[in-house]
Chains A and B, each alone.
Chain A
Amino acid sequence: MDMPIRVLVAKPGLDGHDRGAKVIARSLRDAGMEVIYTGLRQTPEQIVAAAIQEDVDVVAMSILSGAHNHLFPKVVNLLKEQGADDILIIGGGVIPEDDIPELKKSGVKAIFTPGTSTKDVVKYIENHIKR
């Protein structure tokens, strides 16, 4: 049996705009992945705990409030502390391009901004997970 890719889709921080996260969740499912959706207002600690218990291949986070510089790296670091740095971490949302290099340096492997095709996200995940 094929092992489906497991992805945690999370909304860290306080913003409630989950249209993008939900569209992504559905398209990943339609691409044959198992998506664990955790809903709004997740703390980095909750996201990491869920990622570990669910043994996911990918953590995909969405933020539209501008809190990404604080929250994305926090998730990366907490995963590292747990020895789970093999998990692919990607992010999306309203993220100014000037912030992207720094986020990538911190360990977020890819950033998807508005207008990204969900197919590109699927392709990116398929090509970059560690199995």
Chain B
Amino acid sequence: MFNDNEIINIKESKKKWESEVVDKAIKRFPERKEKFSTVSDIEVDRLYTPENMENSDYEKDLGYPGKYPYTRGVQPTMYRGRLWTMRQYAGFATAEESNKRYKYLLEQGQTGLSVAFDLPTQIGYDSDHSLSAGEVGKVGVAIDSLKDMEILFNGIPLDKVSTSMTINAPASVLLAMYIAVAEKQGVSQDKLRGTIQNDILKEYIARGTYIFPPEPSMRLITDIFEYCSKNVPKWNTISISGYHIREAGATAIQEVAFTLADGIAYVEAAIETGLDVDDFAPRLSFFFNAHNNLLEEIAKYRAARRIWAKIMKNRFKAKNEKSMKLKFHTQTAGCTLTAQQPDNNIIRVTVQALAAVLGGTQSLHTNSRDEALALPSEESVRIALRTQQVLAYESGVTETIDPLAGSYYIESLTDQIEEEAMKYIEKIDELGGMPQAVEKGYVQKEIQNSSYKYQMEVESNERIVVGVNKFQTEEKHHEDILKVDPEVERLQKEKINKLKSTRNNDEVKKNLANLKKLAKTDENLMPYILSAVKSYATLGEICDVLRSVFGEYEQSVIL
């Protein structure tokens, strides 16, 4: 971007500045630290100048929004055209209660739904399973059968909202339920918009709600890719998630690298089943974390877009531009929230959300201030949503596209994250791809090392966490904390009992037997799961059938 002479001059003048101005200043006032680094341990220089962009080529590395390699954004007009989708992840207790919260959020100006399921649902157990005891309705809504799903979306027109569902191992079952509810509303599947998380690899790596071993899990995922490409064309079939990888303690570089390596694994699996890359790749979406380090995060999103575009174009020979565009949802980092002085979390979330917006996110969830204490209260959720609205309507950062581009530091950091992430991706390729790297425990180990290092830095006060290891105050009692009534568990059990005595059990049995038979073949299971769901077979019953054929995953832990 600068010619050689200019760079030489700048290098010289910078040296002069350092010796004549900086050195003197440092002698009088030493810098605060010997070494400055980002939260991901990337060293930060005192000053960035055009010399840091020496090798950068504007057209090739940055280009234009909506054009390859999409460093500056995936849409041509970005937020000047349409703001990001404000999507607060919510759900707790029963379908009835969550339905009320969704309607409240839509009234408050939220533009998309994001469903949180409780752990038994995420792991494919009904509320009456012995392992569900104590967990029903706790971290999300309990869904046992289509009956619950009908209540969850009661009065919400599914052709009008887009719905994101955080569901992985049993994603096909919940998607089938969603399709069935829509059908009852008179909405055909081709009109449905939304996303299922459906990203099993990061469950093995970081989040832990797996059910089946990798092989059958990948098959369920590619079944969904194929089914949706034909029947639910507007549905995002997977949300390849770095969020949880980061939450588990990864650095920004690891977040990008491991997420994109997961993406590569899904693309490879789909191509292996005979799908054409451009048939499914446009429906892949991503999900990233927004951590505290503002500039590093912005650079992270930009680097991720550029790497993915290159991978899709060069490695997988995608032809359709849509296949190369990395679209992503962002959630602010739950792990940065502190139980101490919880109101400080509002400020953290603001900085993190700003990073996501400046990084060009397509949708955003902002965490509530009280989430290190319990589930968020209604008031906290509203403040979190208002944070997004202030950024969108008052801050002005939405009026021009990718406003930080060209910053010597941002561009240099973007390059650096790309380079370092590619090293990881190459290492994972060497290990035989992501499933093998996970099996060997390599990825988990890398994340644990980062996480442990970070914790030790906080404990030695090398890293300051406001209110935790500096600026502490006496904590006051926190009022207004949302609690889930243990009664929910009993209610759900009652509902299951009633359902089982009123549905057509012969039909359920027939559908489950059929599913079992076909699970052993390589036929696409989606249509059969859909039939089972429609006959009101429960989530647990369907998953049990699949468990009996596929077996269960055993955790690979290396500490």
Contact = CB atoms under 8 A, between A and B. Distances in A.
Interface of A: 13-19, 22-23, 25-27, 37, 39-41, 43, 65-67, 69-71, 94, 96-98, 113-115, 117-119
Contacts of A114: 337-339, 372
Contact of B131 (A19, A23, A39, A41): A41
Contact of B455 (A17, A37, A118): A118
Given A15-B208, A16-B208, A94-B373, A69 B203 contact: no
Contacts of A25: 559
A85 B468 CA distance: 34
Nearest to B132: A14
A18 B206 CA distance: 8
Please provide the 8 A-B residue pairs with the shortest distance between their CB atoms, ordered closest to farther: A16-B208, A70-B134, A67-B134, A14-B119, A66-B138, A96-B374, A115-B468, A67-B135
B324 to A, nearest CB: 32
Contacts of B83: none
Contacts of A118: 455, 459
B464 interface: no
Given A14-B131, A22-B448, A115-B339, A96 B481 contact: yes
Interface of B: 119-120, 122-123, 125, 130-135, 138-139, 203, 206-210, 247-249, 335, 337-340, 371-375, 448, 451-452, 455, 458-459, 465, 468-469, 477-478, 481, 483-484, 486, 555, 557, 559
Contacts of A19: 247-249, 335, 451
Contacts of B478: 96-97
Contact of B339 (A17, A22, A23, A113): A113
A33 B78 CA distance: 54
A16 B135 contact: no
A66 B139 contact: yes
A94 B459 contact: no
A26 B452 contact: yes
A16 B207 contact: yes
Contacts of B448: 22, 26
A16 B202 CA distance: 11
Contact of B459 (A18, A39, A66, A117): A117
Chain B contact residues: helix, strand, loop or mixed: loop
Given A13-B135, A14-B120, A17-B207, 10 more contacts: A14-B122, A15-B119, A16-B209, A26-B559, A40-B208, A66-B374, A70-B486, A96-B481, A97-B477, A114-B339
Contacts of B249: 19, 23
Contacts of A23: 249, 451-452, 455
Contacts of B374: 66, 94, 96
B555 A15 contact: no
A39 B444 CA distance: 13
A130 B368 CA distance: 41
Contacts, number: 109
B134 A71 contact: yes
A29 to B, nearest CB: 8
Nearest to B468: A115
B183 to A, nearest CB: 31
Given A16-B207, A19-B247, A43 B131 contact: yes
Contacts of B455: 23, 27, 118
B138 A67 contact: yes
Contacts of B134: 13, 67, 69-71
Contacts of A97: 373, 477-478
A124 to B, nearest CB: 15
Nearest to A18: B208
Contacts of A26: 448, 452, 559
A41 B289 CA distance: 25
B559 A66 contact: no
Given A13-B134, A96-B483, A37 B339 contact: no
Q: Of residues B207, B371, B374, B478, which shows the largest number of chain A Cβ atoms within 10 Å of its Cβ?
A: B374
A96 B372 CA distance: 9
Contacts of B337: 114
A70 B135 CA distance: 9
Contacts of A22: 448, 451-452, 559
21 contacts: A13-B119, A14-B123, A16-B203, A16-B209, A17-B247, A22-B452, A23-B455, A39-B557, A65-B138, A66-B139, A66-B484, A70-B133, A94-B372, A94-B373, A96-B373, A96-B481, A114-B337, A114-B338, A114-B372, A115-B372, A118-B455
B108 to A, nearest CB: 25
B338 A115 contact: yes
A40 B555 contact: yes
Contacts of A27: 452, 455
Contacts of A40: 208, 555
Contacts of B371: 94
A15 B139 contact: yes
Contacts of B138: 65-67
